[in-house]
A and B are shown apart, each in its own frame.
Chain A
Amino acid sequence: MRRIVCVLVLLGYAVLTHQRATDYQSELAIWKSATRATPTFRAWINYRNALMNAGRLDDAILACGPLSRLVSLKIEHAMLSRACLSVPP
């Protein structure tokens, strides 16, 4: 029973790896994947840049929506960090 579970887990790993490998085929693929799994400022800005480089300007403009929300969050985070560290402005 344990061997069967082991084999199934390893097969699952292989499938996930195969799927993950497709994300590294291009800049667009990797950053698109990043915006889904890790929607950070870095992921969205690089996704936007990849869209612009690919000539997809309309999609790049759409990507600015989430990006502008993240920029606001980043400013708030920076202000909070400085308050916590008591660093004079």
Chain B
Amino acid sequence: MVWAYWPTLSAGTIYEDIYVVNVKTWADVIQGWWLPQPTLASFLLTPTPFTAHLGNIGLHGLNGLFLWAILRRLASPVWAWTALTAFWLHPIQTEAVAYLAARGELLVALAALVGLSALLFVRSALLAAGIAVLMMAFGLLCKLSSGASLLLWMPLIGLTVGRLGWLWAAEGIAVLVACSMQPHLFAPLSWMARQSSALWHLARLVVYPVGLSLETPPAVWPWLAFGALLLAMGVAIHSRWRVSALWVTAAILPRLVIQQPAPLIPGPFHEHHVYTTVIGVCLAGVTWPR
């Protein structure tokens, strides 16, 4: 993994990286308001580009280890190791690690994974719930729009519903709600849901290749696309077809193997939004209840 991301260590700052590295005054902290924790940490610790990139690689590594531990508990060792390697090395993860402003995505993922780990490994239910809630709050502080990311809510979903597999149903509902919102009335919430929902990104896989856009709901065809996607998932789940993380990323996400999968995700600085989607895919692929 370190070799794969080695070129980032000699990189400087690009685009919105200044909100993570070059934070010198309180005005700069306020300017990076959508990334409260990373911006504040940068103000206090004053990292260099090298240490910031090293931090991103470290966070990615740590996220992989937590994911492995969760999958190791819920699935076979083979799938856990395969998913770990795919998660660490898949090229779609590059931007989340190489782009410093994507620090928020890495931290949100860490918060969600720590919360999930608490549910699985901490014996005291009260302590596990406390850790999960604390991690959710931390995740929100790392990136404000993560409130619409169901991955962050997974620990609470697991606590209340009791079945981690209900993630997909919850994701589907969240995306349908986002679709029903008129952008000019509920722009911030629908934008957040669109950016963070795993199913939204998967639906884009369906419609983008045929030249359609999912940026202006409501319209008929996004509902059809979501309906088709949910139906396909329902069939796969009902037939107890278990999909490993590797086969999901290799088969359902083929365009993400190539550089800058246009027009799936239009250009750079959007690919890092898929980071938590990949985690969701890994978890949903091996943890659907029998």
Contact = CB atoms under 8 A, between A and B. Distances in A.
Contacts of B85: 10
B234 interface: no
Contact of B263 (A20, A22, A23, A38): A38
Contacts of B257: 12-13, 16
By secondary structure, the A interface counts as helix
B5 interface: yes
A33 B4 contact: no
A24 B99 contact: yes
Contacts of A19: 259
B267 A43 contact: yes
Contact of A17 (B11, B14, B15, B90): B90
A35 B290 CA distance: 46
Contact of B91 (A6, A20, A36, A43): A20
Given A10-B85, A13-B89, A34-B268, A24 B11 contact: yes
A13 B14 contact: no
B259 A17 contact: no
B98 A21 contact: yes
Interface in B258-275: 258-263, 266-268
Contact of B267 (A12, A14, A17, A40): A40
A26 B12 CA distance: 6
A37 interface: yes
Contact of B14 (A6, A27, A42, A43): A27
Interface string B87-119: 001110111011100000000000000000000
Contacts, number: 100
Interface string B233-263: 0000000000000100010000001111111
Instruction: Categorize the interface residue count of chain B.
Output: 35 or more
A69 interface: no
B35 to A, nearest CB: 18
A63 B164 CA distance: 50
B8 interface: yes
Contacts of A43: 267-268
A45 to B, nearest CB: 11
Contact of B7 (A6, A9, A18, A31): A18
A14 to B, nearest CB: 5
Given A13-B91, A26-B14, A20 B259 contact: yes
Closest 7 CB pairs of A and B: A37-B260, A24-B98, A38-B262, A16-B91, A13-B89, A21-B7, A20-B94
Given A17-B5, A33-B259, 10 more contacts: A13-B89, A20-B98, A21-B6, A24-B95, A24-B99, A25-B11, A30-B15, A31-B268, A38-B268, A42-B267
